[in-house]
Amino acid sequence: MTESTTIRWEQDETGVVTLVLDDPDQSANTMNQAFKDSIAAVADRAEAEKDSIRGIIYTSAKKTFFAGGDLKDMIKVGPENAQQAFDTGTAIKNSLRRIETLGKPVVAAINGAALGGGYEIALASHHRVALDAPGSRIGLPEVTLGLLPAGGGVTRTVRLMGIADALLKVLLQGTQYTPRRALENGLVHEVAATREEMLEKARAFIDANPESQQPWDVKGYRIPGGTPSNPKFAANLPAFPSNLKKQLAGAPMPAPRNILAAAVEGSQVDFETALTIEARYFTELVTGQVAKNMIQAFFFDLQAVNSGASRPKGIEERQVNKVAVLGAGMMGAGIAYSCARAGIEVVLKDVSTEAAAKGKEYSEKLLDKALSRGRTTEAERDELLARITATGDPADLAGCDAVIEAVFEDTALKHKVFQEIQDIIEPDALLCSNTSTLPITVLAEGVERPADFIGLHFFSPVDKMPLVEIIKGERTGDEALARAFDLVRRIKKTPIVVNDSRGFFTSRVIGQFINEGVAMVGEGVEPASVEQAAAQSGYPAKVLSLMDELTLTLPRKIRNETRRAVEETGGTWAGHPSDAVIDRMVDEFERPGRSGGAGFYEYDENGRRTRLWPGLREHFTKSDSDIPFIDMKERMLFSEALDSVRCLEENVLVSVADANIGSIMGIGFPPWTGGVLQYINGYEGGLPGFVARARELAERYGDRFLPPALLVEKAEKGETFHD
């Protein structure tokens, strides 16, 4: 018999066995080799001592209940060790199944986060009681890492709640529920306020259900809502196929597809066969590139970014107490809300108190909506609003130890608003600008303390967008960078750090995507195909509709400014094939985008997009040779990836993790790629494969696709892009 090293067996005098998950070598319990041995040992002992056992409770001695699979191992699984991974998974599942079918009541007392493997242990229990601990989350988020829950997660959720609910509520979105929301959605049976209450409830279930069984182990069991082989199923089927279609949009996202297949196929066979089907679909995912990309980005890179890999070392954290937000327009209003939500006092200033009050109304609207949906309480709403002071008077900024400026995009105006307040705010206050295009170094020339001046580039809508791009100007000090980083973390956003340059990192790189799409229109490619190529690459926004939203005059303005800057420094301006298309759209056809009522699309009187403008096909005629669809897709992806490498070369980017996370969370680079640089790492044939393909695209479409020296060098040395 193997020994249990990570699960303690604690049996009371009434015969209730508490299995305490407690890996002595790690801060959290994970599905490692020790757990595999321990759960097998526990199952053996439970079978051997069955007569003296009245019931079983799983709980944990750690802060989290169970952390799931070990991603460090999972990212390394390739075809060569897939069988081993499969066998380990099967062994753990068999042990859980033996306990589940022992004939005794089994309860999960979920004392903290139970995500992935943790919730799968809970699913292998007859009853689930969750402790309502702050920050605790329950669910199966595997899909967000390009995987599926193969510890029985698909098989059991389908049998617990029916195919449709299992897919929509748990499997396809990977939603992480708070214990209360988990209760509302049927993921757990009870919620407890304290650990004692949780264990009492677990014991009460055992007392009341001495013969408990899983519903699916009871004779005559049917999957709720039916299965595809049952004629009633179609009638009960809600909207999930259309939901899934929206989510996939043709992008190479194998996880949702495999989850759907495992759920549907598994629903038509017996329980044990369903487990095998689920495992087979998992193996296909875990050995593939997309899961590796997504684990790299959403686990390793995200952790590195948020834990401060790009924050200067050795600078103590200093909390901001009171923030001044200058400009209460769209961005300022959102920034004020995000700060106040994090408990920070905000003084929201505009040209008049009325204008500022309008900005504050934005918070009111968001809060009223949250209130009507039960997401906040009246008291919380009032407290948050009380933290925002709307004013037109600079004197009200006294005591502010940080400023975030969000007035119109105009250097002189930005200089003026900082000058107006610099003697009123705290003498060492952090000075931030939310400019989207103006160089931070130039803006810093307008303040007395350039070392305390930094760019904080938020994305719109601020309350929803998770990313903030921090931009270091030439004279920005480390202290300011550390404080800006801490402020962004305090408002629960993800900070990436870049050096100053035109368009910084995000705006510059997304510009490449848009230019490439527009250039194809100029080459006579069917506009609908351009949009389709963006969607099928996995971009959340189609390229021409995005250009319309941003307004076609904007790239013109940026282009002219950039050209001037390049020529002033003695450089030559190469331009881009999209320039001519934009010029014709604006000057000749007077179609500047959605705000002007006409762009690549047509709009009705309410500003709603109706259809692509038929004039595009008439005025931009088709070239002789057809462009393969794969080229259309890769031109967009490559243009962004290649420019990101140039950002690394130019020291605009300093961290690979920041590049990957910034591209996915800030500018919609397709998540399946793992981000702009991971896309290159994971490209077929690795870096050499990517270089070869870039050269091919350069040959066909122009020198902008030529691989930068850094990329070629790394490919030759056999390296990849990693921090």
Q: Give contact residues for ligand NAI (rule: CB under 6 A).
A: 326-332, 349-351, 355, 406-409, 413, 417, 434-436, 457-458, 460
Distance in angstroms between the alpha carbons of the first and the last residue of the chain: 44
Nearer to ligand NAI, 376 or 391 (CB): 391
CB atoms within 10 A of CB 517: 29
User: Cβ 347 to ligand NAI, closest distance in Å?
Assistant: 12
User: Parallel, antiparallel, or unpaired for β 601-603 and 609-612?
Assistant: antiparallel
The Cα 721–Cα 723 span in angstroms is 7
Nearer to ligand NAI, 349 or 493 (CB): 349
Spell out where 421-540 has E strands. Answer: 430-433, 453-458, 467-472, 494-499
Q: Using an 8 Å Cβ cutoff, are 328 and 353 in contact?
A: no
Phi and psi for 391 in degrees, rounded to 5?
Answer: -150, 160
Nearer to ligand NAI, 329 or 702 (CB): 329
Nearer to ligand NAI, 193 or 413 (CB): 413
Q: Which two tokens stand for residue 511?
A: 């510009």
User: Cβ 328 to ligand NAI, closest distance in Å?
Assistant: 5
Nearer to ligand NAI, 32 or 434 (CB): 434
User: Cβ 437 to ligand NAI, closest distance in Å?
Assistant: 6
The Cα 444–Cα 320 span in angstroms is 21
Judge whether 568 counts as a catalytic residue: no
Residue 319 burial (10 A CB sphere; 0-12, 13-18, 19+):
exposed
Q: Which two tokens stand for residue 300?
A: 């390793």
User: Cβ 429 to ligand NAI, closest distance in Å?
Assistant: 17
3-state secondary structure of 713: helix
The Cα 476–Cα 558 span in angstroms is 24
Residue 177 burial (10 A CB sphere; 0-12, 13-18, 19+):
buried
User: Cβ 323 to ligand NAI, closest distance in Å?
Assistant: 15
DSSP type of residue 353:
H
The Cα 17–Cα 8 span in angstroms is 10
Residue 397 carries which side chain, given as an amino acid letter? L
Nearer to ligand NAI, 8 or 502 (CB): 502
Nearer to ligand NAI, 491 or 632 (CB): 491
Distances from the Cα of 626 to the Cαs of 127, 512, 578, 613, 699, in angstroms?
60, 22, 19, 21, 15
DSSP letters for 525-536: --HHHHHHHHHH
Instruction: Please name the residue ranges forming H helices in 652-702.
Output: 656-667, 676-681, 686-701
Q: Which two tokens stand for residue 671?
A: 């998540």
User: Cβ 369 to ligand NAI, closest distance in Å?
Assistant: 20
Which residue is nearest to ligand NAI, using beta carbons? 329
DSSP type of residue 515:
H
Spell out where 85-136 has E strands. Answer: 106-110, 114-115, 127-131
Catalytic residue among 13, 100, 142, 474: 142
Supply angle C-alpha 327, 331, 332, rounded to 5: 35
Residue 325 carries which side chain, given as an amino acid letter? V
Question: How many Å is the Cα radius of gyration of the chain?
Answer: 28
Residue 452 carries which side chain, given as an amino acid letter? D
User: Cβ 443 to ligand NAI, closest distance in Å?
Assistant: 10
User: Cβ 406 to ligand NAI, closest distance in Å?
Assistant: 4
Q: Which two tokens stand for residue 177?
A: 């529920």
Closest C-alpha to 292, from 303, 280, 281, 301: 301
Nearer to ligand NAI, 145 or 326 (CB): 326
DSSP type of residue 204:
H
Nearer to ligand NAI, 396 or 631 (CB): 396
Nearer to ligand NAI, 42 or 336 (CB): 336
User: Parallel, antiparallel, or unpaired for β 402-405 and 430-433?
Assistant: parallel
User: Cβ 334 to ligand NAI, closest distance in Å?
Assistant: 8
User: Cβ 403 to ligand NAI, closest distance in Å?
Assistant: 11
The Cα 32–Cα 256 span in angstroms is 26
Residue 279 carries which side chain, given as an amino acid letter? A
Residue 106 burial (10 A CB sphere; 0-12, 13-18, 19+):
buried
User: Cβ 648 to ligand NAI, closest distance in Å?
Assistant: 23
Nearer to ligand NAI, 212 or 363 (CB): 363
Judge whether 10 counts as a catalytic residue: no
The H or E element containing residue 103 is: none
Nearer to ligand NAI, 136 or 436 (CB): 436
CB atoms within 10 A of CB 300: 19
Catalytic residue among 3, 47, 120, 426: 120
User: Cβ 473 to ligand NAI, closest distance in Å?
Assistant: 15
User: Parallel, antiparallel, or unpaired for β 494-499 and 430-433?
Assistant: unpaired
Hey, CA dihedral for 139, 140, 143, 146, is it positive or negative?
positive
- The residues assigned a catalytic role are 120, 142
